[in-house]
Structure 1
């Protein structure tokens, strides 16, 4: 190769290498140069005494009609910057997922009897890492009905997310019971069953039972559920249980339970709800209640296999008969 061409080739290679190095350097961003993550506000609220958090998990009180008690909560800003929080009391509910929650609208029952002090008109302003003890007063009306009146106190923080203002809330539960006659009661109804056969012939299918539990008394309880089912004449019985769930006074919970069951063309059974105590509750429990159900339980895959087998047998017999008839002739 002539010397001039060799020099040009070397220079060209050097230029390409420099370009590649420059391009690669553009894609490398040191971690220290990345945009900082926006700070995350974290906070908590727990029961307290005058000195601060006292280790309780909820506020629990039994109060006479017309009576009042005082308590306290501690709110802590766990983040590294100050924030302004809202503090409000509300009525307690159990959501569709079975979790306890506090309604965000104006309270009309136990939540309306709770007053939280130490909050300015603009909210509760806390410095980074600050804990503030807030006094709580619960005043029960003289005409309040005996029994449980679930409530809670929530501490919230609003922020704009994608152009929409979203409020995140953290709360502490208030177990509030008005002294008087306790009347625990429950009912079970609307038990409806359906059967889903397995695609595997002659294998057990899934029996699904949906039922509704209503707390018709004045105290909460946990509902433990068991279901039993069988085919015609009690053949090939099966059963199952479900985890206990909470039902508040006047509340209704619609649940379902699934259990394996052999497909015998028809299934019938009974759902039984047994009340259980929750947490530190020490109240009488209502009697267990039950409801019956029935449903067709047909395994179409099994029928198809039987029909196919019968068809094959019929075909073989037909061929055998025809061949024998020809021999006789």
Structure 2
């Protein structure tokens, strides 16, 4: 601002020029520019640009051979009966003999290894079977087959029915068995050779299992417990915004009977505020002594300094079991939720007011400099006793000046400054209010293998973005937004739509998945397409085995295959859908043409579909330490095409487990440091502008008085 020299003896007020008043507001256009950037940044900061690996690279994963199709289940009279599992009520030292049947639905004979194993809960709550190399230590030792691990030859399926073998076994309860529920499985396993992402040979263990539940006589009690409840709070940069809490705890079945569990998490504040956590899917079955680590994120928490998180678990009786009158658990822990942004803003405003007051007092009370020229040895002349009167200032009928600290701001200038200040405040409020919404659209996980999007089409050839989970098929066409890579665009090319279950803190290659459509031959390599039929799964069929674990989200991938080439499962188009109740909706839809080509299901029956599907190469079950019970997806599809109702029941009970080697990838996420910087600059701009206006206002009042 230009320096103003104040004469001592001559009262002179001049009108302020534009240069006198614009410099304190130089931050205004800068703040407006940064606000505009803040509208865009939250979206672009979290955007993920896929970097798929070229198809022809040496590190592309090799697929395993196609899956065989076989089922397992309880048997009576040489055939699979209508029992859904083996279930016994026995006393200590008791024995019981039964039979298990294994059936081959494929057109080629197969040799399987059959053995007993322990059944346990995995870290995500599903039932799992240890790897074949792990010997049983608990209930699995109670199951006595003809040999601990025997090889069974199954003939090929014919028009008369599937190839079948019925094996006897005995359950022997030890004398010191504890009362309550015990669980095991009988596993049928097929081991084949495959390739890992480095091109090395690995063994692919394709397994199915039937469950065995034994309740030993004695006192039973059902209890749930909550352990290691912890919470961390993440505040908002918006002084009036809400924060979020990340809650972790361990759900434990502390009783001696298997139970289900319903869970609820919410947060209450010291001033009566309340934030309800997301709906947590019911835990269908938790074995005695099993633990389930849980992670819940609660949004829209009003920071009230001291908050409490409440976790409530309610036991559920497992279908078919007597009611054990189980007890649930409730646990509460307190945590700090301090509104630092609001506190900082209030403190800054107070400091600004105090600083303005002190500066005003300093300027008012500072000593008056002597009049006259400085230096040169010339003394200033004393004022005359009779100075001439100062001429009166001319009145201005058009502009009403205001005297402010030796400067005059006209009414139009004051109006412009007021409008600019109001615009800055409004733009800042909009920027803060929309930044959270923009970032909320980002997915909570990253899959670096995604090469493009997928569009979903109805039977009439129109693109759809929502539907009902019970629709069969799920959709009629799935179309890729990117063309087939070289080598996969040749004659005989095929595409298969596969659904995956995103899992917390698990890389995308290790998610669980299953096919939703048959392998389909498509016509247009520029738009690979998978076709569905009424024999294919509904989305509810998939959810029944793999319930959503991350905000109700599922991922759909389009796997491509071609003659002479392995199924392409290292680079694929994908789309994410969110399941809410009985409906689903696409999260980030892409635009495709549903009529740019066509596709025909290459299998007329679910049996052929399962054996020809590239699902064997899915990297989803890439856990060499433990097999995953995926619940009978492939076998149940095979049973739909079988003429035998007993075979259908058997296949519906089978558990498909695949074990393969995986690879690691690095996930990236957008940082928020620039958003904080923008917010800080905007706040500084508001404080500077407000302080300048307040100083001018107080000076004007002083001048008028």
Q: TM-score range by the shorter chain?
A: 0.7 to 0.9
The match for 2:275 is 238
Asked if residue 96 in structure 1 is aligned to residue 155 in structure 2, the reply is no
Task: Report the equivalent of 2:79.
Answer: 52
Residue in 1 that maps onto 2:306: 266
CA distance in 1, matches of 2:227, 2:184: 27
Aligned CA distance change for structure 1 residues 132 and 198 (closer, same or farther; 3 Å):
farther
CA distance in 2, matches of 1:217, 1:197: 39
Encode CA deviations 1:206-251: one digit per residue, 9 max, x unaligned.
3332111222221111121122321223x22122342222322122
Question: Which of these residues, 133, 143, 155, is aligned with residue 166 of structure 2?
Answer: 133
- 1:104-136 Cα offsets, whole Å, 9 max, x none, are 31111111011234x797611112121212222
In proportion to residue count, which structure has more strand?
1
Residue number in structure 2 paired with 1:124: 152
1:320 aligns with 2:348: no
Alignment match, 2:315? 275
Residue aligning to 2:287: 248
Contact 1:52 1:133 in 2 (8 A): yes
What does residue 135 of structure 2 align with? 106
Q: Which has the higher contact order (CA 8 A, sep 6+)?
A: 2
Aligned partners of 2:103 and 2:206: how far apart in 1?
15
Contact 1:63 1:177 in 2 (8 A): yes
- Residue in structure 1 matched with residue 586 of structure 2 by the alignment: none
**How has the CA–CA distance of structure 1 residues 311 and 269 changed in structure 2, closer, same or farther, with 3 Å as cutoff?**
farther
**Could you say which residue in structure 2 is the equivalent of 1:10?**
none
Mean Cα deviation higher: 282-291 or 66-75? 282-291
Q: What does the per-residue CA deviation read over 1:166-202, in whole Å, with 9 as the maximum and x for residues that have no partner?
A: 2121111111111111132332221111233456664
Q: Is the 8 A contact 2:113 2:149 kept in 1?
A: no
Q: 2:98 aligns with which of 71, 74, 85?
A: 71
Separation in structure 2 between the aligned mates of residue 55 and residue 205 of structure 1, nearest angstrom: 52
Query: 313, 320, 337: which is aligned to 1:297?
Result: 337
Deviates more, 1:277-286 or 1:124-133: 277-286
Range that drifts further, 301-310 or 168-177? 301-310
1:160 equivalent in alignment to 2:187: no
RMSD of aligned alpha carbons: 2.7
Give the secondary-structure state (helix, strand or coil) at the position aligned to 2:280. strand
- Contact 2:226/2:250 (8 A) holds in 1: yes
Question: 2:178 matched to which residue of 1?
Answer: 145
Q: TM-score under structure 1 normalisation?
A: 0.79
Distance 1:120 1:138 in 2: 13
Which is greater in Rg?
2
Structure 1 residues 228 and 121: alpha-carbon distance in aligned structure 2, compared to 1, 3 A threshold: closer
The alignment partner of 1:322 has SS state of helix
Could you list the runs of 5+ residues in structure 2 that have no partner in the other structure? 1-63, 158-162, 196-200, 349-682
Question: Structure 1: how far apart are the matches of 2:342 and 2:153?
Answer: 68
1:91-112 Cα shifts (integer Å, max 9, x gaps)? 1100012110122311111110
Shift of 1:298: 4.3
Paired residues for 1:14-25 under 5 Å: none
Q: Is the 8 A contact 2:139 2:182 kept in 1?
A: yes
